[in-house]
Structure formats: structure tokens, C-alpha cells
Amino acid sequence: MSSHSVRVRFAPSPTGPLHLGGIRTALYNYLFSKKHGGTFILRIEDTDQKRFVENSESYILETLKWCQIEPDEGVGYGGPYSPYYQSQRMDIYRMYINKLLKKGYVYYAFDTDQDIDKKRKEYSNRDLTFSYNSRNRMYMNNSLTMTKEQLHDKLQSDSYVIRFKIEPGEKLKIYDIIRGNIIVDTDHLDDKILLKSDGLATYHLAHTIDDHLMKITHVIRGEEWLPSTSLHVLLYRALGWTTPNFAHLPLILRNNGKGKISKRNTNNLNFPIYPIQWKIPKTQILIPGYRELGYLPEAFVNMLALLGWNPGVKKEIFSLQELIHLFSLEKIKKSGVYFDIKKTNWFNKKHLKKEDIFAFLFREVKKRSILYKKKDYLWKVIYLTMDRIHFIHEIWEHSSYFFVSPNSYEDNFFNKICHENTIIELENAKILLYNINSFSSVNLTCFFQKKKNKHKIMQLFRLALVGSLKGIDIFIIFEMLGKEESLLRIEKLINRIKEKI
């Protein structure tokens, strides 16, 4: 196959927001298509009207945009194989189901839900599981067990579904790029419904036809679809089509060992599950996503790419272009992968850009009308504090003391030092500092190194300059603030202590 013909699709159902697994599927499809100069298609699989959730589609489009992995073709982008909504392709599915009917690959079934429920109960009473399969279908109410006349009458009066007729006794070979050869015994398959009683095709039928007509070369999707793949392969065969290549992606697991992450399993997770914010339609409650929490799309995509795929190099930080370059389906892991929020934060830290932090800090400073600070000073602050932050918005929290004198002091420590002695110590220190000519961090470090009680006095300085016991090297803070401002802050602390005692 020439590499130019690669065509892959991301085919979500509009049943709610995408979660980590969903967006990772989209990403792998995107990376694979770009690597091979192929086409990435977005198809909306809306055959199950009962599970439809409004705004899912716009959510999906916005997420792909945010991640910068936009489709080349499909919903929202157009293309030569439209419509890309399955709900608008029902006539096509009908046409093919008629072909399958004529060839005897499928059959009408008239069993009501109650009939099937009854069977299920009967079986479960005997500790068995009922399945509508080659062994049982001859005892059911379907076109295989009635005459042509009976069928004709039934079709006039009753609603029906159409089921795929599995031929037992075959060891079906499936090849999956990630998992290799898989052998499925068709004796274990059941006769899945292809057309529902409302006349709509099910996912199994619809996506098989679409993948063929849209010339999809590689089906890259979640592992949960692996068990249905045998049916899909049989469907391709019945329709006389060649199967696409399959690659089933490993599940993303919750790190508490409580199973997989899915749309229906988002409670009690201690990390965000959605790429961008989602407003729950019924309650209008907004759930923030990675975007709103301050993650950069580059970091999010980098993290997701490595969640189940091994780039085969030591490096971990990649741009989208590098990911495309290195991507290969063969290096995707077979077993489930654990999501790690700490690692995700680390990815974000690694993708932070100084220019963006600068812009943020500049806005914060401006907002507070701290106009006297030069750009140079801001840059210095960024270099000094950058390694302490994982998110751009954390920069102010970690650097505000370079711009504003503390208005309050960390309670615990303040209460501990709130006595006459501290005032004397601080007054003495003030005199020492006042007399130091070169107020550089190197000079100050040398000077205080020799002092007795140095640990205590440095803590006091920190409280005075920062307001808490946090922050970078205290002598660098001194140098940055300058003698005048530093002494003012010490004076302020002295006054506070005086007020308190």
C-alpha cells in the first residue's frame, strides 16, 4: 500500500464529553495519518439516539482544535464522502442490509424484548447464560424458523430486527497490529443485531459500511471494540470487501486499581478526566478540563501520546511534529496503562515557555499598578522562580514578594517570634544591613555565614521580606529588593510585632 493512501478516522458517538481515552484515540489516529501523509477523518457515530447528549459534537470539535489535532475531513470539515453523520446515512445501510438479506447472511427476528428476557431468566435459573446464537436461533421466532408465507405475514404486522447469522465451526483469524494474530472460534459468537426495530442500523453495521465506503485503511480504536472485531471481519467478508488493518489501543487505568477510565466511570477520580470544560446539560454544572486548569495543549498531547506508546528513545518531551515523526502503531503497548497526574504536571512544567510566563507576570504586575518595575527585573524574577512552578498562573504566587511587601505574616511562625527579643535581634540586623555597602547576594551570604544564630536570623529575614518561610535564597531576595526596600520590610515586621505585644 502506498503511504499516501492512509486514511484513518476518529469516530466518536455524541454521548457526552470526550475523556482521556477518547482524545488519546483521536491523537493516535492523527499522529499515524500525519506520519504517513494520510487523511484524518472525523465521523460522528450517532446511531443510538437514546444515548445522544447535546453539545457533545461541539465539545469534540473544540477539543480537537485545542489539542491542535484537527481533522482533514469529516464533520465540521466536509469532504468527498459526506455525510459524515451516521444518522444521515441510513439509506446506505438499508441498501447493504438488503444485499445481505438476499444472500442469506442475515435474518429477520421477531422476538420481543419480553421473549428474550424470558429466555434469559430460564437460562440464568439453570446457571447458564442465554445467547442468541447458532445453537439457539432455531428455537426462536425468526425467519429461519418460519415458512415464506409466515414471514411475509409477520413482516406486514410485526416489528423486527435483523441479525447477523454466524456460521459456527470456524476458527477465525484476525490480525491486530498491536496484538498480532488472534484466533476466534465462531462457536462462541452470537448473532448480533445489525438493524434495530426502529429501522436504524446499529454501530456494527454502520461503521463497517462507512469504513469501507470512506476507504479507511486503518481502524485505530479502543480495546473495548476488540471482542466485536470478529463480527466486523465476518461482515466485511459477507459484503465481499477486504478488511482494513486493525489496531486496538490499551485501556487507560485508574491508578487506584479500580478498573478503566470511561465516560460512565468518572466519579471519585483524583484527577481531571476531560480535556476541556464540560457543562452537564441537566444541571448546568461546569466541570473544568485540563485547559481550564492551566495545562498547555502541547503538554497535554505530549503526555497522552506517551500514555500507551513507547517512542523508543530516551527523551520524553516532544513537540507535536516530533511525535508525528516518531509515531508507530507497532510500539503501542498491549497492556493497560496507568495515568499519573504528577507526571502530567511535570510534562506541563517542561512545556512552559518563558515568554508566556513573562506575559502573565507582566499582566499581574500591571493589574496591581506596580509600574516602577523594569522589564529586566521581571525577567530576573522569572529566571529565579521558574523551576518552582508547573503552571503559568502559579508564577504570581511564587514571586509576588518581589513586587509587593507582605501585608500579613504566616501565623504560626509570627506568633512564635512575637516577643521583645526578636525586636532587638531585628533592630541589630537592620544596623548591620544598613552598613553593608555592596548589597549583593554574594556579599551578604559571606557576611551572614560567620554570624552566630544565623539560621534564626535568616528565618526572621524571610518572614520580613516574603511574609512566610517560603521563597528562593534569601540573599538573592535582598539583592533583588535592594537595601532600602529590604530595610523597610524589616521595619514593617518590627512594627507588627510591637503592635502585637
Is 202 a binder of ligand GLU (CB under 6 A)? Answer: no
CB of 220 to ligand GLU, least distance (A): 8
Count of residues interacting with ligand GLU (CB under 6 A):
8
Whole-angstrom distance, CA of residue 139 vs CA of residue 307: 47
Nearer to ligand GLU, 204 or 462 (CB): 204
CA dihedral angle for residue 135, residue 141, residue 144, residue 149, rounded to 10 degrees: 160
From 13, 63, 202, 385, residue interacting with ligand GLU (rule: CB under 6 A):
13
Question: CB of 12: closest distance to ligand GLU in angstroms?
Answer: 5
Considering only 163, 192, 207, 496, the residue that binds ligand GLU (CB under 6 A) is 207
- CB of 13: closest distance to ligand GLU in angstroms? 4
* Options 85, 123, 225, 271; binder of ligand GLU; rule CB under 6 A: 225
The CA–CA distances, whole Å, from 496 to 191, 366, 477 equal 80, 28, 21
Q: 52-89: buried (b, 16+ CB within 10 Å) or exposed (e) per residue?
A: ebeebbebbbbbbebbebebbbbbbeebebeebbbbeb
CB of 125 to ligand GLU, least distance (A): 34
Single out the segment in contact with ligand GLU by CB under 6 A; choices: 11-19, 239-247, 272-280, 453-461: 11-19
Nearest distance from C-beta of residue 60 to ligand GLU, angstroms = 10
Site string for ligand GLU, 32-61 (x = CB under 6 A): -------------x----------------
From the list 34, 165, 192, 263, the catalytic residue is 263
148 is an active site residue: no
**By C-beta, is 202 or 486 nearer to ligand GLU?**
202
Q: Which residue has the cell 459477507?
A: 238
Distances (CA, A) of 422 to 280, 387, 414, 490: 55, 33, 10, 11
C-alpha–C-alpha distance, residues 335 and 182, integer Å: 15
**Total Cβ atoms within 10 A of residue 280:** 12
Say whether residue 11 binds ligand GLU (CB under 6 A).
yes
Q: Is residue 12 close enough to count as binding ligand GLU by CB under 6 A?
A: yes
Nearer to ligand GLU, 11 or 97 (CB): 11
Is residue 14 at the binding interface for ligand GLU, with CB under 6 A as the rule? no
Geometric angle at alpha carbon 193, from 189 and 199, rounded to 5°: 170
d(CA 10, CA 33): 11
Q: Residues 212, 221, 263, 349: which binds ligand GLU (CB under 6 A)?
A: 221
Of residues 12 and 467, the one with the C-beta less far from ligand GLU: 12
Overall size of the chain counted in residues? 501
Piece in contact with ligand GLU (CB under 6 A), picked from 8-16, 115-123, 395-403, 434-442: 8-16
- Judged by beta carbon, residue 242 or residue 407, the one nearer ligand GLU is 242
> Judged by CB under 6 A, does residue 71 bind ligand GLU?
no
Shortest CB 244 distance to ligand GLU, Å: 10
Environment class of 435 (CB within 10 Å of its CB; exposed 0-12, middle 13-18, buried 19+): exposed
Q: Among the residues of 67-160, which ranges form H helices?
A: 90-102, 113-125, 148-157
Asked whether the bond before 83 is cis by omega within 30 degrees of 0, the reply is yes
- Strand order through the sheet with 7-10: 73-74, 39-42, 7-10, 218-222, 245-249, 171-176, 180-185
Stretch that binds ligand GLU, among 9-17, 121-129, 140-148, 416-424 (CB under 6 A): 9-17
d(CA 45, CA 392): 37
Is the CB of 81 or the CB of 203 nearer to ligand GLU? 203
In this structure, are strands 286-287 and 278-279 parallel, antiparallel, or unpaired? antiparallel
Per-residue binder mask for ligand GLU (CB under 6 A), 277-316, x = binder? ----------------------------------------
What DSSP line would sit under 7-70, residue for residue?
EEEE---SSS---HHHHHHHHHHHHHHHHTT-EEEE-B----GGG--TTHHHHHHHHHHHTT--
> Which residues of this chain interact with ligand GLU, rule CB under 6 A?
11-13, 45, 203, 207, 221, 225
Catalytic residues, which ones? 263
